[in-house]
Amino acid sequence: MARLLYTLLIYFCLPLILLRLLWRGSRAPAYRQRWAERFGFVARLAEARQVIWVHAVSVGETIAAAPMIRRLQQQYPESTLLVTTMTPTGSEQVKKIFGDSVEHCYAPYDLPDAIARFLGRTHPVLLVIMETELWPNLIHACHRRAIPVVLANARLSAKSAAGYAKVSALAGLMLGELAVVAAQTKDDGERFLQLGVDDDALEVTGNIKFDLQLDDTLRQKAATIKRQWQGADNRPVWLAASTHRGEDEIILDAFRQVLAHRPDVLLVLVPRHPERFDEVAALCSDAGYCMRRRSEGLAQGMSALESKIQVVLGDTMGELLSFCGASDITFVGGSLVDVGGHNLIEPAAWGVPVLSGPHVFNFTEVSRLLSEAGGLAICASATELAEQVVTLLADPERYQRMSSAALAVTEANRGALNRLIALFESQICPPPAQVSSRR
């Protein structure tokens, strides 16, 4: 009954969902495209090949899933990897990272007919869902078709758990149909158990975002960007990454305070959502800053005119990880407002001191590890942010301690990916190489 009521509600809200797509499309035109895929009208995949389906909602989940997907490609070379997202930015990231080596489309809405159509055209033998993208009808449809569903790198904050508890009749049914929940932490696992996940289905594997690989190409790109931003005067670079509405004003206020002590600092401001690029550009201009968009470029070494630039607006997609490597200090957004924070591991993996606001419930364990080690500073206001930036730039020893601590935490927590891949092996048939070796 709970699932039926939920389904009726989804159908009832469908016009509003489509209107929201149109509204978002007015700011980001890609949202107006490929609607058929969202209703399950996707290209048919060859039934002769085993299909492993990985669902990553947007950019962050896609980047986190990339090492896992590459390992699956290596381990199951005869299989087709189908990667779905919900956002155009996620779609662009899939194409950028994997090109034609994976199949890609949007995931269907959680409507029974759309899901049935999608599954009938793709025939997956396994569905891997990244983090917390839980949809009752999708999971139920896979369960009925004996398609194991693995919730990978699963996290569940206390706030989210409380929300699911309010609809426990629906959430319990859904979670009970998951084949495996690979939780990031013991606390995450306990919350899943309390909501209805079977004991036998729960594994605590750690956070695969710690298994981030910074290859030579990425390191070279980051070094090139850093030279461009620093210029001949070797300017310090402060990155404010993945900011949300309400945070940009705080960052710009903090930056004004930083400039009073260090007028040579360059701020790189990267809004989380592309549709806000123009809005944030206007905020920078209204605040009186000399701004340049990343899409407009900066010349190597910076000209005399470019050296006066105070703010670079990060209005390109798929470059944030390299920006972390090009920065001297990184603030991670979604944390000065009640969003829950974004990926603290990316700057830490570069050995960059990390700053954050107090709202980090999406990364509770990561923030705890980094804070206790001394690699992360929590700042609740513009003044506290400015003080941290100024102090770090004025005290090389403190800067180095914080940098080393951040890097040490990432190195010490690797290994979740190997544990996760081992779980997949129990859910699908062995790789062809293993089958051959047993004969």
Q: Count the residues in the chain.
A: 439
> Three-class SS of residue 111?
coil
Q: What share of the chain is helix, strand, coil (3-state, %, to 5)?
A: 55, 15, 30
- Please check whether residue 186 is in contact with residue 205, taking contact to mean a CB–CB distance below 8 angstroms: no
Residue 135 zone, left/alpha/beta (φ > 0; ψ -120 to 50; rest): beta
**Angle subtended at Cα 206 by Cα 158 and Cα 57, rounded to the nearest 5 degrees:** 70
| Known catalytic residue at 61 | yes
What is the Cα–Cα distance from 255 to 195, expressed in whole angstroms? 43
Contact 102, 91 (CB under 8 A): no
Buried b (16+ CB within 10 A) or exposed e, 227-266: bbbbbeeebbbbbbbbbbeebbbbbbbbbbebbeeeeebb
Helix (H, G, I), strand (E, B) or coil at 203: strand
User: CA-CA distance, 93 to 281, in Å (whole number)?
Assistant: 23
Query: What distance in Å separates the CA atoms of residue 150 and residue 80, rounded to the nearest whole number?
Result: 17
Amino acid in the structure at residue 428 = I
Q: DSSP secondary structure string, 335-355?
A: TTTTT----SHHHHHTT--EE
Which of 61, 103, 247, 346 is an active site residue? Answer: 61
Distances (CA, A) of 398 to 237, 276, 347, 404, 407: 17, 35, 17, 10, 14
Active site residues: 61
